[in-house]
Amino acid sequence: MLPKERILETVSVLFHKQGYNATGINQIIEEAKVAKASFYQHFKSKEDLCVAFLNERHDLWFNALEKFTLKEKDLKSKVVASFDFLIFMNQNENFRGCSFLNILSEIPSDNVKILAVIQSHKTDLRNYFKNIIANDLIADHVYLLFESCIIESQLFKSNELIEQSKKIIQTLIS
């Protein structure tokens, strides 16, 4: 694996396990087994590394979501499958939650560089539901259900509210 890939893989684990603020560059360099010069060749700062990590996470997450829901043809099935995707991710990532929201809780409100990436990810998710559901009000309602399911399932290490949300969707979408 190339140094840049090792660094990004390492921060994926460390940011999840320790959080963004508690993870230092020296620890990343040591655990990724790269030279300091190699680190700075790829990333000018920890902030730039975080942006790269979030962009990579965005791509991986959306590609997995699209693949997971690809076989569903009608809109209700596709939306329900999106919630099944959350259950799948919780099982695979041990209720990791949303990397974007986890980092949002740690950055200062004036960190516009990282905030812009987080906002872009959430806008893309909101638009994902708007592209499936013609009614914008219902699409936003589903988006908010989805977001709250991510947080609640991480908090309680349970898929219970995701299952409840799937039932709510059955009544929302006709």
Whole-structure pTM over 0.85, yes or no?
yes
Confidence check: pLDDT of 142 > 80: yes
- Answer for the pair 7, 32: CB distance below 8 angstroms, yes or no: yes
Q: 69, 62, 80, 103: which is closest to 149 by C-alpha?
A: 80
Contacts of 5 (CB under 8 A, 6+ apart): none
Q: And the tokens for 84?
A: 């099944």
The per-residue DSSP string of 51-120 comes to: HHHHHHHHHHHHHHHHHHHTT--SHHHHHHHHHHHHHHHHHHHTS---HHHHHHTTS-TT-HHHHHHHHH
Confidence check: pLDDT of 174 > 80: no
Structural domains in the chain, CATH included, are 1-43 (1.10.10.60), 53-172 (1.10.357)
Confidence check: pLDDT of 79 > 90: yes
